[in-house]
Chain A
Amino acid sequence: MSDKKGFLPVSRRGLLSALAVGGIGAGLVGFRDTLIDAALFRRRGKGALHPIYGRSDTPEWLHDAATGGLKPNPDWTLRHTVDLQCHSECGLRVKIDRKTGRIQRIFGNPYHPHTRMAYADLNTPLRDTAKSPGTVCARGNAGIQTAFDPYRITVPLKRTGPRGSGQWRPIAWQQLLDEVVEGGKIFADTGDPVSADIEVLGFRGLYAKGGEPMDPQAPELGHRTNGLLFQGGRIVGSRLEFARRFWKSFGSVNCFEHINVCEVSHHVATGIVYPGKHMLKPDVREAKFIIYWGTQPGDANFPMQTLGKYTADARSRPDGLKYVVVDPLLGRGGVIGDRANWIPIKPGTDGAMAMAMIRWIIEQKRYDAGYLSHPNQKAAEAAGELSHTDATCLVVVDPAHPRANAFLSADDAGLGKAEGEGEGIVIDAATGRPAKAGEAAAGTLDYSGTVNGIAVKTAFTLLRESAQSLELAKYAEICGVPEEQIVALAREFTSHGRKAVSEAYRGVVKHPNGYYNCLAVLTLNLLVGNLNWTGGGTLGGGGYGYKKGPYDVMALPGAEGRAFGVKLSREEAHYEDSSEYKAKVKAGQNPYPAKRPWFPLSFEIYTELLPSAVQKYPYGADILIWHMATPFYSVPSQGNEDFVKAVKDPKNIPLIIASDIVVGDTSMYADYIIPDGSHLESWTHIDTHVTTLTAGTGVRWPVIDLVQKTEDGRQMCIEELLIDIGKRLGMVGYGDKGIPDSGGNYWPLNTKEDWYLKATANVAFAKGLGGDDVPEATAEEIAVGDLQILQDRYRNALRQSEWPKVLGVMARGGRFEPHNQARDGDKLRHRFTKTLHMYGEEVALTRDSMSGARFRGTPGWTEPTTALGKPLDQLDDFNAWPLTIITFKGALQSHSRLSSNYVIRQLVPDNGIQIAAADAERFGIRNGDAVWVVTPEGRRKGFARVRQGLRPGVIAYEVGYGHWGYGATNYQIDGKRVEGDKVRRAGIHLNPILRRDPDVWQMSLMDLVGGSVVFFNTRARLEKDTDHV
């Protein structure tokens, strides 16, 4: 080769040498990790199981040549448990590799009512279910990736920098216990100057203050131990009760789950109409007409797959179900066409449309007057009815009367005392005179007059007047649905006798007027009298109690009453009873508004915990535990920078412990993270949903075992932490004298199985309903499920005589009433016979803690407002903010915790901003354009997804995307970086920029009656991202 340099400063040979060394060298260095991995066969997965079938599983059951039937495949363990990929909590059959302990497949538990329409009877041997397993949805199948998530944390972590710095180090269980229990300067080693010198109280220090009032001037606030706060995300059934039991024993009332993020207003409204109940569902398979308000079969709702399946089945039958979805968004179940229709309503105006229907139904006399006239169950049944209402009961309407807004009592009417149900007064239809509701066969339905000098009206009259307060045309204008369409819907609804149902879910209630929206929707059911009828409404069959039976797992003898006082969320308590209120009144001040709202009618006001704790209203928090909780991600507006900064300040909440399976979007701001078990590694006893009509209780239990163990071999998790704390502090109900049985003897509580197995025994031995006795597990069933290990490991947790039946429950994944017991001819088997309420007296007697005005007891259109009553239409100008944001739960990605499920992320990798085609044209936006969603609270960028099936003026995003934690971003453990995964970051999440209430510091817009936080009333505009190519 020539060495001439030519125009180059080096020879050609030199140049080639440099290029060769530089190029190959750079490549080898840059790609070294991958090339070394490839060369050394690292990260190589597993070989194929079979030359033809590759990685396909071998079946769970094998052909038995001897019998011609099936026999278990010894390679696999089959265990039944309960899902938690969504709140449907379907039964799972989990196929586990017996050698490795790894899950190979998840499908449906055929004994569980959610997974099959004609589910297997408890007496069906396990082997006989081989050919007919149940189904679960894509989320259920994908649960394997929730459990085997590479970002799982398996040991306790402690922050090594400031809160939220993303720097962690693993610590021993013992160190965790020592620090959080004993307290002191436990953050001195974190290098965080803000918290290094803070003297943390610790569990011991706080527990010692059990006799000390939170505020001597306000004894109703309870003791200082109320400073222990539990903010639970998705925690239900017996797992929640396990936590509550600890809180009671500790002396704190502040143990919460997440319900007001979801739909508590729905539960509250249901509880007002159907006392003590939280959910009304249609008998879907036999109904002739259903209106789904704010939900659609096959998308979310309870149980998602079951409702979808029932609806499809019913709709496919000749003369079967017709249904209408009322929702701004057309989802999977919102089919248009054959016996299904979609009404795209304006967000948050369901109440107006329902009231319009009520008005038309009343004026056209298409309600069931006979049914509504019966004021008590006895009279109703005598007339062939299955339930009764308070429609004929009289309400005091004289505003000057001391009992204004209350039901007229026997005392008021001069009829003496009434006892028990039917204590109201009606105008007896037979005599035309006042009578006790419990004694009259029928009351006058529409009555306005005086009784004993008191102005009264019947509940029905109040409803009529409320409905008639607006013209149909006005209602139509409010809800954006043509009047003729409303009338047609009302006509159809009243054309199917008792087999028409109006049911609501989240879309109706996540508004400031959510309670009243839902109340109106539910009241439609009263007008047709559908409850308890085949094809009508049902309140379900309930479950088998796990709290009491052979064991009293909730009992805390000696600690009763230790936990008391107003909760931090100010729920289930009246502001007017508070010392604060009384002091203001005494001082001659206007006591209204309260600093933050009180929620006397609602419960589980999860979203108010953090801002209340930071503001110390009515008091602060010393120790906060987040369990599967991610308020920064899931609560509207709480992910804003100012608020996160406030929670990060240790002076506001000195100690935060998270229980999580990963470093999550909120747990990343904790001081400690303790590893939790996934849904496949934890316990819960959870009742089946109302939709199935029958009674049932599923048992979730650890079918695999992934996290590390404590020194004495227990699975690290929240329960074991609570047990260890309880034992250290000598709390009632922990240690050797842990759980009393029905004979008064005590059993130890040293590990969570001591408690959960006893709860399972309570289920197994609960009184049956017929056909639901639990068979003892056979030897084969024990072998297939490898259940003997439970008995071997926890032999002394139960009486030996109880094990066969308990294992019978475990082998079937719970206890379930047979499906053929759902109905008795044209009646449902499980019936609810308390008085149904057309008038919510409890609501009508309650005052709004912000305005001092009384809430309304009658359904009626209610305009959405801020806490201080400013209509939202006046809050954000329509011209500046022409769009309204709504969220929705898709069938594949509805939770904050499914971003690790790559198999379903592949199907829906990004949510995008869903824009109605008409709006896209109006704003010049094309499919795929990068756009900014701008709200009064901030802006986020995403990609436009232009679609039909969305009401113009509304933009939608599917929840579950746009993570910043849960493996989405980098963090460090012991100084080593854990790389975040972009797949988990994908998509847009608008919760942090949803509307805050301008009247209350860091409070989302809220429904002050029902307690729901508001997702669907944020106004927005779109701006094209001109920087993006």
Chain B
Amino acid sequence: MSGKLLAIENLTVSFDGFKALNNLTFSMDPGELRVIIGPNGAGKTTFLDTITGKTKPTQGTVHFKGQNLAKFKEHTIAKMGIGRKFQTPRVYLNLSVRENMGLAYNQQKSLLKTLFPKSNGGEKDDIAQLLEIVGLLGKANSPASLLAHGEKQRLEIGMLVAQSPDLLLVDEPVAGLTDEETEKVGNLLIQLAKKHSILVIEHDMEFVRQIAQKVTVLHEGSVLCEGTMDEVQSDRRVIDVYLGNQED
């Protein structure tokens, strides 16, 4: 367990006999920016589901900061410091952008603290600063339902940062974005990686090349290979199952 932020050992998750994850072993150091790629059905989203506690492991263990996550529920895991961004942007449509950020920023998540909040002087400035970074300050007071798709993506990343977790899980952050927006998000992630550990799942190879230090390839529920982008790209097995398909 020594010093690893996230350590996953022999993880298997099966749905009615179908193994979405198969004997998967994986670990991440603190401060790392890791990208996971893999063809459809490789188990990427199930992988995130298991880390965040939505799906429980059939076998194997997930350790975060040395603690076994098996017995915790989603909200406890989130409070321990794992934040997650979903594949499709999921923000609270009937709240304003600022309120969305506020709910994520708030660190006192118990019932009583929510009913009787202690005033936090820094909150307003911090949120304004974050909104500036994700480029939504101008829309801080409009309801999130009026945002465009890309803006929702950025808002959700902003919320993730506001939550200030130790580990950010980011599921396909640039799906459906324009090239320009993609680059923006990429820079944002690289910025964030200086202070946080980030695990990104992505399909977009250009984007992966832009941000990745280390890449893990999943295939059929197991780790196929791991390394820098160049190493991964020259790996025969990877080309067979994944990159080869792209070049057809």
A and B physically associate = no
